[in-house]
Chain A
Amino acid sequence: MLKPKKQHSIIFNRRLFLLSSLKLITFSVVINRLYNLQIRQSEKYKKLADNNRVNLSLIVPSRGLIFDRDKNLLADNEEQYQLIFKIYNIRNKLQAIEKVFNYVELQEIKKEELRKQIRENKKRVLVKQNMSWSEVAKVSSNITELEGVYIEMILVRKYISIATSHVLGYVGKPDINTNQKLFKVDDARVGKLAIEAAYDNGLQGKFGYKREEVNAHGRVVNSISKVNGIPGNDINLSISKKLQDFSFNRLGENAGSIVVLNINTGEILTLVSKPSFDSNDFIGEMHPDKWKEIINNNLNPLFNRATKGTYPPGSIFKLIVVLAAYSLKDFNSNKRYFCNGSFKFGNQIFHCWNDKGHGFVNCKQALAVSCDCYFYDLSLKVGIDNINETAKKFGLGEMYLNDIFNSSKGLIPSKVWKKEQFGKSWTKTDTIVTSIGQGFSLSSPLQLAVMISRIAADGKKVVPTIIKQDLNMKKDNDIKDLNKEGISLIKEGMYDAVNSSIGTAYFSRVYNPEKLMCGKTATSQVRRISMKEREDGIIKNEDLPRNQRDHALFAGYYPHKKPKYGFCIVVEHGGSGSKSAAPIAKDLCEILNLIDV
């Protein structure tokens, strides 16, 4: 038996050995771990460290500017300051954002949304767009106590005039479905409508990028490399800002449209649709009240009437009937027709707009006074096929600038069309109704402007464009198989319609004898007048609810010698063409005389 002390020593040494072995094992575990981290998985961690260190970000190029034909800005880029909240190493993110709220004005709904985004650990949160100067000052002077807050300067689209909203469209945040690449880029904007959308590729420019060294708090420490983007290409539109603004204001509270074309080049000088929206409202986050206002407006401000709105062309269509008549061998424009106020066909009676009748009228006079009965009679001789063909030659039923405006095709009825649409044969009654631009026919203001321009250009095939052109159109693009006599006759008719005392637009004539306006009024019915109403007396437009009033149209050109401008004015439910649309045309021509675009 050992002494207790000796025995003790043995136990101690044994246990010390055990303990030391345990220590050795833990050492080997640690070394093994270091080996794994630093040698076996080193590449992985090196990559992770680089990802931490280097921040690659895209530089959004400045978007191409949009000018009018005289180099006036229509769409600019404006410097704006925005407040960004980045979540990096912030201990209490929600507390930090609450602090930020003390310095910027935000709606409660927006605040709640931001809190939600932060709870979801979104790395970069846009707190406030378009900061006011006082907000920028307040935040910058307190930046040291605001964690994760950055003020960024960005270029934001700024639209100069509300009158061009329908032409330019607007930019907005990229959509995840259509633009996956750009969707991920903060502050990237893409064109959403009209010119901005159609020319987005050119306007967008090329993105640059920068590699920066950032610290754990997201602050940039060093710039590693930077490749500057290429700014987007500017666009010069054919629109004249002055004329556009004038036309926009001249329409006043009316819903409607004004389209003005340069006959020589096909350039669209004015493309107004009313009511309109403000493109600037669509860029950032739209105020809910504004959106409600747009949605609740039953005139639909988002609808581009100039290109998508279709109206019965009314009496303007009579020009086409005359032109079609010239293809007849025995057509004599001087042959007089007696209008007694109505036209009997079978057992149906078709009325002239003037109940008392126009008496004896020849073709030119019929155009000037816009006698319906003359054309009822003429159309039956000409036939629908002929009318249809001629209408198409002059650009009706054709889509223009579809890629930009998603334009409407309108409708020029034909025998085939009716058969397909309704399964019924074309009747002569249909032809009669079509001859005065009622019934099935539908045209957009742009189409009517093109038609009138082609007539004014003596049958040249004017094709509209919205981009500024340096050269006139090619000389040899005349409309084929066209009787020039017909053109000069209807031009005379249009001259008389405005400048002769019998004309429907006589009270809207332009007084400058050197430069006179020519044109054709139209009052297109949107309701059927019953026999009973005819007997009781037709209800005046003023007494009807708005949506049953007639559309007022005027299509014309200016000046009468060597015409330069072709235009079409539509005042939706404006009553008669001579009272509502023609005075606008007069003012338009007087302005054109002054500014000479």
Chain B
Amino acid sequence: MNNFTNYKPNNMKNIFLKINWVVYFFLTLLAFIGGLILYSVSQGSFYPLVSSHLFKYFISSMALFITCFISINFIYKTSYIIYFFSILLLISVLILGNDVFGSNRWLSIAGFTFQPSELSKLAIILAISRYYHDYYFISNNNILKVTFPIIILFIPFAFVINQPDLGTGLLILISGLTVIFLSGIGIWYIFFSIIFATSLAPLLWNLLYDYQKKRILTFLNPDQDPLGSGYHIAQSKIAIGSGGFFGKGYIKGSQSHLEFIPEMHTDFVFSIFSEEFGFLGSLILVLIYSYVLCYGIVSSYRANNTFTKLTIAGLTTNIFLYFIVNISMVIGLIPVVGVPLPLVSYGGSAMLVTMISFGIIMNLSNFKGQLN
């Protein structure tokens, strides 16, 4: 029992000290902003989007607190188990999943739908971090140091790509590779990997689905089909641009309320926010994200062992990727990929994973002991 936690379970005061309340405040603020936009999108209706969103935030907060409470050793030890569990979930999606718009991403459990690929992101980071923690003594240029994590990474990646969900797949890949990069592998591996990946690009292009190819082509040449695939991005840019400095005012965005923006409550939630609150609002939102991400980076820097360092950095990167990919997508910097804006977008899986990630970060950043 002594190994389970370094703190006594009855010492609740310590547990609450572990929580960074400033960060938690900002996370709550983001969820609240999400609620505001959903209220606007619903034409001033609290039900069902806003209520559901806030309820999901409440559940996710609970998850954050519970994660803070769990012993680091327990997390460390169950890393691989979580990883296998996530693979199991991905397999069950393949067999039992709900088919939505031709892709198979969701799993229904007791009336809740959940996206197992979101859990995979967490699991991969934990598993790779544990591997490097256990084998930090192996030379950086040892081939073993690369092979195993790559295998860990590619199994869920293959499943997610197969769903098909290119966006999440790439996010998983990048956050996993970030952890491998931070682990300190030899610079030559990185160099050759890049060359290898580039040479594989034409082959990968052929493996893409038609709609994915179309999205990428549309992104490269958006004027080619202004009423087709490029339409959403064009309308999103119009929404954001027309917001100006102060925005059009709350619930006054014409682009959103006249249904020019697709997926208003999920992927394109930032367009609505930006249209109604302008550059000022967007800047504040970006700064809030910057703050919580900086917290992650600093925590990672301060951590005293490989597992905590890598886990925190990996999770932070994961959240960063969510954020940056979503915003870049709606402002037309990258092609459309279905990635939500964490905490703001409507949708439970991403929110839950984000909050659990912050729970782990808060938990780990207070850890000063030794893992065994």
Residues of A within 8 A of B (CB): 4-5, 8-9, 11-13, 15-16, 19-20, 23, 26-27, 29-31, 33-35, 37-39, 41-42, 44-46, 48-50, 52-53, 87, 89, 121, 213-217, 221
Contacts and interface: CB of A to CB of B under 8 A. Distances in A.
Nearest to B178: A19
Contact of B140 (A11, A27, A213, A217): A11
A11 B184 contact: yes
27 contacts: A8-B136, A8-B306, A9-B309, A11-B140, A11-B184, A12-B182, A15-B181, A19-B181, A20-B297, A23-B320, A26-B324, A30-B327, A34-B282, A34-B331, A37-B237, A37-B331, A38-B278, A39-B244, A41-B241, A42-B242, A45-B241, A48-B238, A48-B241, A49-B239, A87-B227, A89-B231, A216-B235
Interface in B278-302: 278-279, 282-283, 286, 290, 293, 297, 300-301
- Secondary structure class of chain A's binding surface, majority of residues: helix
Contacts of A15: 181-182, 184
Interface stretch (B80-88, B119-127, B254-262): B254-262
Tier of interface size on chain B: 35 or more
Given A15-B182, A16-B313, A29 B238 contact: no
B6 interface: no
A4 B136 contact: yes
Contacts of A48: 238, 241-242
A361 B148 CA distance: 133
Contacts, number: 128
A370 to B, nearest CB: 76
B328 interface: yes
A23 to B, nearest CB: 6
Contacts of B286: 27, 30-31, 34
Contact of A52 (B235, B278, B313): B235
Contacts of A213: 254, 258
B279 A34 contact: yes
Interface string B240-280: 11111100000000110011100000000000001000110
B151 to A, nearest CB: 22
A12 B242 CA distance: 43
Contact of B238 (A35, A52, A87): A52
Interface of B: 136-137, 140, 178, 181-184, 227, 231, 235, 237-245, 254-255, 258-260, 274, 278-279, 282-283, 286, 290, 293, 297, 300-301, 306, 309-310, 313, 317, 320, 324, 327-328, 331-333
Contact of A4 (B137, B235, B254, B283): B137
Given A12-B184, A34-B240, A52-B258, 9 more contacts: A30-B286, A30-B324, A38-B279, A45-B241, A49-B239, A49-B242, A52-B235, A89-B259, A221-B258
Contacts of B238: 45, 48-49, 52
Contact of A215 (B237, B241, B259, B282): B259
A329 B169 CA distance: 116
A61 B174 CA distance: 63
B320 A49 contact: no
A87 B226 CA distance: 13
A46 B242 contact: yes
Nearest to A10: B184
A38 B238 CA distance: 9
Contacts of A29: 333
Contacts of A45: 237-238, 240-242
A32 to B, nearest CB: 10
Contacts of B243: 38, 42
A36 to B, nearest CB: 8
B240 A37 contact: yes
A179 to B, nearest CB: 29
A485 B258 CA distance: 85
Closest 6 CB pairs of A and B: A45-B241, A49-B242, A11-B184, A38-B279, A215-B258, A216-B259
Contacts of B274: 34, 38
A19 B227 CA distance: 38
Contacts of A89: 231, 259
A12 B306 CA distance: 9
A5 to B, nearest CB: 6
A13 B184 CA distance: 10
B331 A12 contact: no
Contact of B331 (A19, A33, A42): A33
Given A4-B136, A34-B279, A37-B331, A46 B244 contact: yes
A5 B370 CA distance: 13
B240 A30 contact: no
Contacts of B320: 23
B317 to A, nearest CB: 7
Contacts of B255: 49, 52-53
Q: Identify which of B136, B184, B278, B332 gathers the most chain A CB atoms within 10 Å of its CB.
A: B184
A560 B237 CA distance: 85
Given A16-B313, A19-B178, A44-B241, A34 B259 contact: no
A42 B137 CA distance: 56
B278 to A, nearest CB: 6
Nearest to B236: A37
B265 to A, nearest CB: 15
Contact of A16 (B182, B239, B279, B331): B182
A366 to B, nearest CB: 82
A52 B241 contact: no
B184 A8 contact: yes
Given A33-B331, A216-B259, A23 B282 contact: no
Nearest to A87: B227
Nearest to B258: A215
B279 A35 contact: yes
A525 B317 CA distance: 104
Contacts of A19: 178, 181-182, 313, 317
B301 A30 contact: no
Nearest to A34: B282
